Amino acid sequence: MLANGCGTTVELVDADRVGRTPFLRVSANRTSHNMYSVKWCFGGGEIVQRGEPTRFSAHRLQANLSSNQTQTMNSPGSDSIRKLLLYIAAITLPATLLVLAFVFHPTGQNLLQTMRDSTRPPRSVSERLADFGDRCRLRWRTRCDAVGVVYPPPSVTFVALKAERQLDVYAAAPDGSQSLLVRFPILAASGGPGPKLLEGDLQVPEGVYGFESLHPSSRFHIALRVGYPSAFDREMARIDGRDLSGKSLGNDIMIHGGAVSVGCLAMGDLVAEELFTIAADCGLNQARLLVVPWDLETRDAPTGDALPAWASELYSVLRAELQSLRAPAG
């Protein structure tokens, strides 16, 4: 992905014009977040289009070319060259802009990262911790020292607030009290309020979960595999009859890097490394995850016909868990 102020250029040159000015040069520059400037230089003139990649228009470029033809195409044979350029623009511009939009979009970036990762040999947890563990531990120790907690703490709890797009990290002290260490933004989380019911519903689960494993070779950098479905999820599925529907409740729910989510929590690579490190250092059996629709201490729980009948029971449990975590020491 291009950083702000950076760009790339592609030139088209006739075989017999090597060393001379190219007859068509396309330059793409990133000017700000998701805003780009594409410059088409030809025949001594230029056309500049600015905006999001998906909003560039071949018709607009063709109109600009036509309106500028007198000042850019005065050499002999300019009509033939102009027609050639318009033909090339009409053929190549849509494909070029699709490629730009794909490469600059988070989905494209993650797919490209997946393709790169697929060529690398699988990594172990210890190898990944050797890559980034020391710098992550330095940050965690600084946070723990600020609240008087040793590192690694006896246990750690992640609280994901879906509506707020926020993940809070709580560490336990030896006396059992909990301290908030840090709040991280959730970069992507699909779905809305309400528990996950079936595979493919795009919902992020809601409930209290452990972690099944650390995934050091995730296609989204690294990941923590959430223990969904929980015993509670399975029991509610049995009561609802969803276990007899022939559809899975879903699986492979992760907290991972990157910025794209389909039922998971995408935290970005650097934050994923920090969560991976503290979970590994505490031990997975001492790490857990609470996922709530929003802060249930400040807002009433979700209601509505779309929610299962047992949702109110689930939200009562989650509210009590939040109150316990946030209770003052002593």
Domain residues for the domain of 267 are 125-326
147 and 233 housed in the same domain = yes
236 and 88 housed in the same domain = no
Residue 1 is assigned to a structural domain of this protein: no
51 and 186 housed in the same domain = no
| pLDDT at site 174 | 83
pTM for the model: 0.67
Residue 112 is assigned to a structural domain of this protein: no
187 and 54 housed in the same domain = no
| pLDDT at site 212 | 97
75 and 147 housed in the same domain = no
Residue 110 is assigned to a structural domain of this protein: no
Residue 223 is assigned to a structural domain of this protein: yes
The enclosing H or E element of 71 equals helix 69-72
| pLDDT at site 50 | 57
243 and 311 housed in the same domain = yes
Residue 161 is assigned to a structural domain of this protein: yes
The CA distance from 174 to 150, in Å, is 9
84 and 164 housed in the same domain = no
The CA distance from 315 to 328, in Å, is 22
Structure tokens at 92: 């190549």
Residue 117 is assigned to a structural domain of this protein: no
131 and 224 housed in the same domain = yes
DSSP 136-192: HHHHHHHHHHHHT--SS-S-EEEEEETTTTEEEEEEE-TTS-EEEEEEEE--B--S-
Structure tokens at 106: 């988070």
Tell me which residues of the chain have a pLDDT lower than 50.
1-4, 8-23, 42-44, 53-63, 65-75
129 and 97 housed in the same domain = no
Number of folded domains that form the chain = 2
131 and 204 housed in the same domain = yes
Residue 109 is assigned to a structural domain of this protein: no
Strand 45-51 relative to strand 287-292, pairing? unpaired
92 and 183 housed in the same domain = no
| pLDDT at site 320 | 97
Q: How large is the C-alpha radius of gyration of the chain? A: 27
170 and 37 housed in the same domain = no
CATH number, domain with residue 260: 2.40.440.10
| pLDDT at site 196 | 96
The CA distance from 309 to 292, in Å, is 17
Q: Is 200 left (phi over 0), alpha (psi -120 to 50) or beta?
A: left
